[in-house]
Amino acid sequence: MSLRRLDISGLRNLRKVSLKGCMRINILSGANGSGKTSLLEAIYLMGMGRSFRSSRLTPLISHDLNECILYGELESGHPQGYQSLGLMRTRRGEQEFRVNQAPAASAAELASVLPVQIINSDSFVLLDGGPQVRRQLMDWGVFHVKPTFLDLWRRAQRSLKQRNSLLRRHDKGGRDRITLADLLPWDKELAESARDIDALRAQYLEDMLPIFDEVLQRLVEIPGLTVEYKRGWSPEKDLLSALEESFQRDARLGATTVGPHRANLDIRIKGLPASEVLSRGQQKLVVSALRLAQGRCLALQTGVHCIYLVDDLPAELDRNHRITLCELLDEMKSQVFMTSVDADIIEDRWQDRSAIQRFHVKQGEIFCN
């Protein structure tokens, strides 16, 4: 999977630009604030339907415009020779997704066509942030290699929404206080989908984590590092029993406190949270190893290569680690978009120089070198 063209209109300071002639390795250089990261953000939006920089919509759109529009073309085995993706967002909160010119029901359809991974200065949140961030990382991989996962995840979310709605009603203390019997239909539905979600997650991690260990050893030696999957409820109980036991606590809090939505990847160094032990540079290498391992796992199981977005590679990494990370990306044969203030720092790290395209970004405009 590789991006051959990207048209951007109204995204931050990229008012109307086109990225054409993309190669396997694409190096984006330019001064701070020129728009390099916004280019990566546009690709990420195309593949995820959301930004990696902000959860708010307004900052994405150029300050004097009402909407941002993205259009991309991907090299693929599609009958017409390429696949197209489109995305539109407005200040009023309206959004539209398109795949091969046809309306797409959700961002999941974009993601299924364009798998992307990001390595940037915010990578540390994967270690020092809450479980939701690590759960999203895990589910990205499960979604792309296990076709049944999305429907199961939606079933679980629907059950959770209904169950939590009933719990909040109970929490208000009105006359219609609920009982365990009221929750039972949704508990059963949640337990059934959670069982299968748990199995898919566990199988995916069984396949991916050995690859992670191998990649991490290439990047850095960290004795005592462990990654453990926590499914979100006691391993000694089925979820239906766990939900029954948690009823009083859930009713008091007005929310379901056990289930697949509480899953986590527990990353530790000799029993301590990794974020409390590792330096910033080591944390970036651990996160990079996880994301590289996910790309390798995807390629091995599906034959699809994800696109890597690497923002400001030199930050927190010394020369030797930059070289090794580029070597690993090069070996994977995935398409890479990489930013740097100074392109020369990273350009000579690739075996096939003919696979490199340089772009210079200046004040929201793109120039092909």
CATH number of the domain residue 108 falls in: 3.40.50.300
Number of domains in the chain: 2
Average pLDDT in the 130-151 region?
A: 95
For the record, the structure tokens of 290 come out as 């996880």
Domain termination site, one of 270, 286, 303: 303
Give yes or no for residue 316 having a pLDDT over 70. yes
- Any idea what DSSP says for residue 257? -
Assign residue 298 the CATH number of its domain: 1.20.1050.90
Of the ranges 138-142, 261-265, 350-354, which one carries the lowest mean pLDDT score? 350-354
Interatomic CA distance for residues 360 and 4, integer angstroms = 17
Query: For 51-75, how does the pLDDT look when each residue is reduced to its tens digit (9 = 90+)?
Result: 888 777 777 888 888 899 999 999 8
pLDDT confidence of residue 245: 95
Predicted local confidence at residue 177, as pLDDT = 76
CA distances from residue 241 to 75, 145, 258 in whole angstroms, order as listed: 49, 30, 11
Q: Which two tokens stand for residue 23?
A: 């190669």
Average pLDDT over residues 22-44: 90
Asked if 76 contacts 1 with a C-beta cutoff of 8 angstroms, the reply is yes
Looking at the fold, whether 353 and 257 belong to one and the same domain comes out as no
Answer yes or no: do 289 and 333 share one domain: no
In sequence order, the 6+-apart residues with CB closer than 8 A to the CB of 272 are none
Q: Are residues 220 and 292 in the same domain?
A: yes
286 and 151 housed in the same domain: yes
Buried b (16+ CB within 10 A) or exposed e, 167-189: bebbbeeeeeeeeeebbeebbeb
Q: Do 97 and 156 have their domain in common? A: no
Confidence of residue 274 (pLDDT cuts 50, 70, 90): very high
pLDDT (0 to 100) of residue 79:
61
Judgement on whether residues 15 and 131 belong to the same structural domain of the protein: no
Answer yes or no: pTM beyond 0.75.
yes
Examine the domain organization and report whether 193 and 271 are in the same domain: yes
Q: 309 and 332, same structural domain? A: yes
Question: Which domain range does residue 263 map to?
Answer: 123-303
* Predicted pLDDT of residue 40: 94
Q: In Å, what is the CA distance from 64 to each residue of 15, 37, 68?
A: 10, 20, 11
360 and 273 within one domain? no
pLDDT, residue 158, reads 97
Distance of CA 128 to the CA centre of its chain: 16
- In the numeric block, which tokens belong to residue 355? 């696979």
Q: Are 188 and 272 members of one domain?
A: yes
According to the model, what pLDDT value does residue 315 have? 76
Indicate whether 31 pLDDT > 90.
no
Please report, rounded to a whole number, the percentage of residues in the chain having pLDDT higher than 90: 60
Residue where a domain stops, chosen among 283, 303, 323: 303
**Mean pLDDT score of the chain:** 89
Domain boundary among 277, 303, 329: 303
Distance (Å, whole) CA 258 – CA 237: 11
Whether residue 223 is found in the same domain as residue 279:
yes
pLDDT beyond 80 at 38: yes
